[in-house]
């Protein structure tokens, strides 16, 4: 077994690998850029080596720097995590030449499966179902249009070396192909150094299912069941679970055996994932097709660990050291249900715009990597596990992926795992930047999610007008009214005590007028708590200044995040933000005399919605534009975002040019 390994990655996956290595008695070496000098993974590792500036292209993506760090520290092996160099054949070859073990698959398998075009050819030869499409070199946009017309719309354009949702565009007609083909090429080149694109048929009502593969260097290859990854946004996975609510035992066996056959055909060993697209329109479950094989650990691997009890990172290390798998296919079971939500630095209330900045407050519902025992191991603490790589006071920068953390829950049933997600998300405290905690909580509560009727179009179909918060019923609003009244009395009493000028002669108000979500509640806390005259059995504690309160009303438990506002409170719980107006009952009638402030009209400005790089500007001063016409392209978090005209108008003034770095809310141009 290795005595020391180096992790050629950063963030939560670096923490993840270090934790398992520590448990195995293996020393670890971290490599870090300028931006990560104070990151948790650097502190966790036994040794750390600085490898360059913040941009990944100048640090984490330079193989020579990784190898130099191995030589300087005596690391015998490298775990690449995911992303960066994890699927780059040249890196694995360089390590081999230097006598350093690669904790991953053989070079031949990476080469065969890393190229989406070649991998489809190999899959077809191995007898695996493949999606109809064009597998070959596409010359230009006109060629792409001809191919798409022949396949039939809708089609998906994908960068050959792409991954993580980057370098992908869905086209419903020729116009979409013309608009998107060059963007796919650019994203492929910028993110992966390869601008080749392939086109394939887009499966209607698709579900995204993937099979976890694990093999050793002695010819043993197993499948560790499936994961459902259908809930995606812009082809980036948001929610993953294991097992899938759609897959039957018969279907699982058929998928698993085909995926093992593919892995065997390329001489695969280590952990890997075969991604499949499944037609949800086929009740037999037999319409599944090969998408790609990821020759690395997946972001969503924890859900597989939860239901199988197998530490995938440990197995990767053991396989790389030449050990045989200590279990067989018959030993692989399904125990309970696991769900993972990706907590991203993006603002769902503003169209999911990327959000960078400092984590002014970061408190996960359970410790991330603070202990290295089994208390927060594969299934977490009481079924709640947090995989993270950030810290309070740290920064989520523009240089790397916007994921803050992964929240994983495990329960005996799917509903139990989902309920644990809702409770844990309520207790996830993040301040300083936008995040998607409310959004994923809303998904966990959504009737369609709870029914298991999922497709990759779930988010687009269920939130066509964007996200404004989870639906909240009247009973919950009433409960929040009681909590708000309790807090208001506690705050008033605290203010009276601090002031001290009335010698305690004046009692704080006990009767409140509370308005939430357009509904009015009369809340009284005299001898017992009532809302609109009905007694509410509220149990809670609150000290003015608390950011998170725990409350129980009957058999319902709430975790409510609290933020003072001008007229009362901002209360966040169960995936929704509630602006709560709280006034003493005797003052409330006077509010009808207040003048409403009308927000300014900003429709004549094209405003940059996020910090980013202005890649292209399609119009100039004096140009006439139509509603929906692309005006500019802004790149943020390695993704291109097309900004379109909201109305027909004439460009009056242009304030920026291609190549400019723009701040959020920067005015790109002004319309007549």
d(CA 665, CA 375): 45
Q: Which two tokens stand for residue 11?
A: 């963030």
Angle in degrees, 0-180, between the axes of helices 116-125 and 107-114, rounded to the nearest 10: 100
Can you list the pairs that 188-195 forms with residues at least 24 positions away whose Cβ atoms lie under 8 Å?
188/159, 188/160, 188/161, 188/162, 190/635, 190/638, 191/159, 191/162, 191/166, 191/167, 191/638, 192/159, 192/161, 192/162, 192/163, 192/166, 192/167, 193/161, 194/159, 194/160, 194/161, 195/159
Phi and psi angles of residue 524, each rounded to the nearest 5 degrees, phi first: -125, 135
Start-end of H helices in 241-395: 249-265, 301-308, 312-320
Q: Which two tokens stand for residue 544?
A: 């003015």
* Of 420, 423, 404, 424, residue with least CA distance to 412: 420
Q: Which residues are bridge partners to 556 per DSSP?
A: 553
The catalytic residue positions are 292
Q: Which residues are bridge partners to 521 per DSSP?
A: 514
Residues in the chain: 672
d(CA 194, CA 162): 8
User: Is the Cβ–Cβ distance between 227 and 301 less than 8 Å?
Assistant: no
Q: What is the CA radius of gyration of the chain?
A: 27
Q: Which two tokens stand for residue 380?
A: 């977490």
User: Is the Cβ–Cβ distance between 317 and 325 less than 8 Å?
Assistant: no
Stated as kind and residue range, the H or E segment containing 607 is strand 605-607
Angle value at C-alpha 318, between 316 and 324, nearest 5 degrees: 110
Stated as kind and residue range, the H or E segment containing 170 is strand 166-171
d(CA 138, CA 146): 10
CB atoms within 10 A of CB 127: 10
d(CA 173, CA 656): 31
Angle value at C-alpha 515, between 510 and 517, nearest 5 degrees: 150
């Amino acid at each position: 077994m290795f005595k020391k390994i180096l992790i050629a990655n950063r963030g939560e996956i670096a923490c993840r690998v270090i934790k398992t290595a520590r448990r195995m008695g293996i020393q670890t070496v971290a490599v870090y850029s300028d931006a990560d000098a104070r990151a948790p993974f650097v502190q966790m590792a036994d040794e750390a080596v600085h490898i360059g500036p913040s941009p990944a292209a100048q640090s984490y993506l330079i193989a020579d720097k990784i190898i130099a760090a191995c030589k300087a520290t005596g690391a015998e092996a490298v775990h690449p995590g995911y992303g960066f160099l994890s699927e780059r054949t040249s890196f694995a070859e360089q390590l081999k030449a230097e006598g350093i073990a690669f904790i991953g698959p053989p070079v031949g398998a990476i080469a065969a499966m890393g190229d989406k075009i070649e991998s489809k050819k190999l899959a077809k030869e191995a007898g695996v179902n493949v999606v109809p499409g064009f597998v070959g070199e596409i010359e230009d946009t006109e060629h792409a249009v001809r191919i798409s017309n022949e396949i039939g719309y809708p089609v998906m354009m994908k960068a050959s070396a792409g991954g993580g949702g980057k370098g992908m565009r869905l086209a419903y007609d020729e116009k979409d192909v013309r608009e998107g083909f060059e963007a796919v090429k650019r994203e492929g080149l910028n993110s992966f150094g390869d601008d080749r694109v392939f086109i394939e048929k887009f499966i209607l009502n698709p579900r995204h299912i993937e099979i976890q593969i694990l093999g050793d260097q002695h010819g043993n290859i197993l499948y560790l069941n499936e994961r459902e990854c259908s809930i995606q946004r812009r082809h980036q996975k948001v929610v993953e679970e294991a097992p899938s609510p759609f897959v039957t035992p018969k279907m699982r066996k058929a998928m698993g055996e085909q995926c093992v056959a593919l892995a065997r055909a390329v001489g695969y060993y280590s952990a890997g994932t075969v991604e499949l697209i499944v037609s949800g329109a086929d009740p037999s479950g037999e319409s599944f097709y090969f998408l790609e094989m990821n020759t690395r650990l997946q972001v969503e691997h924890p859900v597989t660990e939860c239901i199988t009890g197998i530490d995938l990172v440990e197995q990767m290390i053991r396989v790389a050291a030449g050990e045989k798998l200590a279990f067989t296919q018959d030993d692989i079971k399904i125990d309970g249900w696991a769900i993972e939500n990706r907590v991203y630095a993006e603002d769902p209330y503003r169209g999911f715009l990327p959000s960078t900045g400092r984590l002014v407050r970061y408190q996960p519902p359970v410790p991330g990597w603070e202990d290295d025992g089994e208390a927060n191991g594969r299934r977490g603490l009481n079924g709640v596990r947090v995989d993270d790589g950030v810290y309070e006071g740290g920064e989520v920068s523009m240089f790397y992926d916007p994921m803050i953390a992964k929240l994983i829950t495990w329960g005996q049933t799917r509903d139990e795992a989902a309920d644990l997600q809702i409770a844990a998300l309520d207790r996830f405290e993040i301040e300083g930047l936008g995040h998607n905690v409310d959004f994923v909580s809303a998904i966990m509560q959504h009737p369609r999610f709870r029914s298991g009727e999922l497709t990759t179009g779930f988010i687009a179909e269920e939130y066509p007008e964007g996200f404004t918060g989870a639906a909240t019923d009247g009973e919950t609003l009433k409960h929040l009214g009681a909590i708000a009244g309790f807090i208001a009395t506690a705050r008033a009493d605290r203010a009276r005590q601090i002031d001290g000028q009335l010698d305690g002669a004046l009692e704080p108000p006990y009767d409140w007028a509370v308005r939430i979500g357009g509904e009015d509640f009369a809340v009284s806390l005299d001898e017992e708590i009532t809302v609109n005259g009905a007694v509410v059995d509220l149990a809670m504690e609150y000290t003015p200044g608390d950011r998170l309160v725990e409350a129980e009303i009957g058999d319902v438990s709430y975790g409510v995040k609290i933020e003072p506002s001008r007229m009362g409170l901002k209360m966040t719980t169960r995936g929704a933000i509630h602006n709560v107006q709280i006034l003493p009952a005797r003052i409330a009638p006077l509010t009808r005399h207040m003048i409403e402030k009308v927000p300014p009209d900003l429709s004549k400005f094209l405003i940059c919605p996020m910090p980013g790089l202005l890649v292209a500007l399609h119009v100039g001063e004096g140009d006439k534009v139509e509603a929906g016409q692309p005006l500019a392209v802004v790149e943020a978090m390695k993704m291109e975002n097309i900004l379109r005209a909201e109305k027909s108008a004439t460009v009056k003034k242009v304030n920026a040019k291609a190549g400019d770095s723009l701040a959020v809310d920067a005015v790109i141009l002004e319309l007549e």
